[in-house]
Amino acid sequence: MSQRKIVIEPDPILRKKSENLEKVDDDIRRLLDDMLETMYAAPGIGLAAVQIGILKRLIVIDISKDKEKKDPIFLINPVIISRSNQTSIHEEGCLSLPGHFAEIERPDGCQIKFIDYNGKEKKLSANGLLSTCIQHEVDHLNGVLFIDYLSKLKKDMIVKKLVKQKKELNKVIL
C-alpha cells in the first residue's frame, strides 16, 4: 500500500465525471488499498478515486470512531437507488477542500447498489452520517462538491481562500 497525493480544489479534474469499472481485479484492489491508506493518513472518513486523480467510480469510507477497530467500506460503481423524503443537516468537510466546512442538507437515508472489494454485487441501506458520507462521495464521482449546495457568495469565498492556500503551499514546497 502507498499513500497518494490528494487533489485540492480548484482543479478541473474534480469537476469531471468518473467512469464505471468493467471488472474488479488485483490492480483495482491495490488502488482501493492505496485510497484507504491515503484517507486514514489525511485523516478523513471518505475518499473518491477522483480525489487522487483517477476518474473511476471507486469510493472508500470508514466512519468508525474507534481507531483500533477499523471498519472500511469499499464501493465500486455505486448507484443510489432510493432516497428518503426526510432530510438531515450535517456539517460537511472534504479532503479536497482542507479547512472548510459547511452545514449541508441532504436526504437522511439512502439505499445503494454497488460492487464490493471481491467483485460481488451488493445492496446497502444507510442513514445518518453514513448516508451523508455516501451521498457526498457519490457526488464526487459526478463532479459535484459540497460547496455547490451553498450560495454563490459563500462558494466563491471558499474557492478564493483555497486559491490563496494553494499559493502559500507552493511557496513552502519551493
For Ni ion, the binding residues (CB under 5 A) are 94
Q: How far is the CB of 140 from Ni ion (least distance, A)?
A: 6
Q: Pick the catalytic residue: 22, 37, 92, 137?
A: 137
Nearer CB in complex with Ni ion: 28/104: 104
CB hemisphere CA count around 99 (13 angstroms): 10
Helix (H/G/I), strand (E/B), else coil: 10:
coil
Q: How far is the CB of 162 from Ni ion (least distance, A)?
A: 13
Residues 6+ away with beta carbon under 8 Å from 106: 87, 88, 90, 131, 132, 135
Check: CB of residue 147 under 8 Å from CB of residue 162. Answer: no
Q: How far is the CB of 134 from Ni ion (least distance, A)?
A: 12
Query: Is 168 a residue of the active site?
Result: no
Q: Give the C-alpha distances (Å, rounded to integers) separating 56 from 122, 153, 171.
A: 18, 31, 31
Q: How far is the CB of 125 from Ni ion (least distance, A)?
A: 22
Look up residue 161 and give its three cell numbers.
Answer: 481562500
State how far the Cα of 174 lies from the Cα of 132, in Å rounded to an integer: 38
In this structure, the chain runs to a length of: 174
Nearer CB in complex with Ni ion: 68/91: 91
Nearer CB in complex with Ni ion: 58/94: 94
Q: Can you name the residues that pair with 112 across neighbouring β-strands?
A: 80, 124
CB hemisphere CA count around 164 (13 angstroms): 7
Nearer CB in complex with Ni ion: 9/108: 9
| Catalytic residue IDs | 137
